Structure 1
Amino acid sequence: MARHNELGKWGEQYAADYLQSIGYDIIERDWRIGHRDIDIIARTGDGTTVVFVEVKTRTSDVVTKPDDAVDIKKIRNIGYAANNYIKTKGIVDEVRFDIISIIGNNKENAQLAHIIEAFNPCLAY
């Protein structure tokens, strides 16, 4: 596995651990429809909201911040995948789209930012 893929997998696990530590239940990881994917699908601790989470991990933010990589194309792809997930699973709860941005490559030096309601894919068209 390429180094950037390993970093991404580590970041997704770190993000999932974080979400669980604040009371979220992880429903799915790396859910796919075709070539589109959602990194984490979780339910808030109060059980009222399904959260679609995009995780972006970088070793540093010298060039760009990790969450800047969530561009209009990525937002549309997440929206498409989320719509399919909602229909497939019959979700009737509130939904939300978050970004977890991680800078670092291990628990000792990682900086995690959880951006709640980071985007609305309906506005990306």
Structure 2
Amino acid sequence: MAQHLEQGKKGEQMALSHLTALGYQILALNWRTGKLEVDILAYDGDILVFVEVKTRSSNAHGEPADFVDIQKQRKLIRAARACIEERGHQGDIRFDIVSVYLGEPAYIHLIKDAFWSE
């Protein structure tokens, strides 16, 4: 497996452990529809949360969350709409970002309500 894919998987597992420890109820990992994907789909209380995980081994070019640009946000929103329709969800939703930095020292940073749907 390519190094960036291994790094991404490690970051997703670290994010999953972090969210679980915070009480999130994990519904799916890498939920897909067509070419759209949500890294982690979970409930935080009664809120359906769409989580994007960004992992970096260096923060020389910015924090991992800085790489969730407007295009990525739009893709996540489209994926969320498809997921909501598929599940028939009628309640509140939220978009969170988990930044995972694998440098020394490693850290995880959760950004709740990182962006909103249009």
Q: Which TM-score band (shorter chain)? A: over 0.9
State the 1:34 CA deviation. 1.2
The one of 113, 117, 120 aligned to 2:116 = 120
The structural deviation recorded for 1:48 is 1.2
Q: Which consecutive segments of 4 or more residues in structure 1 shift more than 6 A?
A: none
Which of 74, 89, 94 in structure 2 is aligned with 1:76?
74
Superposition map of 1:66-105 within 5 A: 66-104=64-102
Following the alignment from structure 2 to structure 1, what is the Cα–Cα distance between the partners of residues 62 and 46? Answer: 34
Q: Which runs of 5+ in 1 are unaligned?
A: none
- What is the total number of aligned residue pairs between the two structures? 118
Question: Which residue of the partner structure matches residue 10 of structure 1?
Answer: 10
Name the Cα RMSD after superposition: 1.2
Which of 61, 65, 73 is the equivalent residue of 2:63? 65
Report the equivalent of 1:43. Answer: 43
2:20 equivalent to 1:24? no
Distance 1:63 1:20 in 2: 29
Q: Distance in 2 between matches of 1:84 and 1:9?
A: 24
| Counterpart code for 2:61 | V
Tell me the TM-score normalised to structure 2 length.
0.95
Aligned-pair identity in percent equals 43
Is 1:54 matched with 2:55? no
Alpha-carbon separation, structure 2, partners of 1:27 and 1:91? 13
SS at match of 2:61: coil
1:115 partner letter: I
Higher strand share: 2
CA distance in 2, matches of 1:48, 1:110: 31
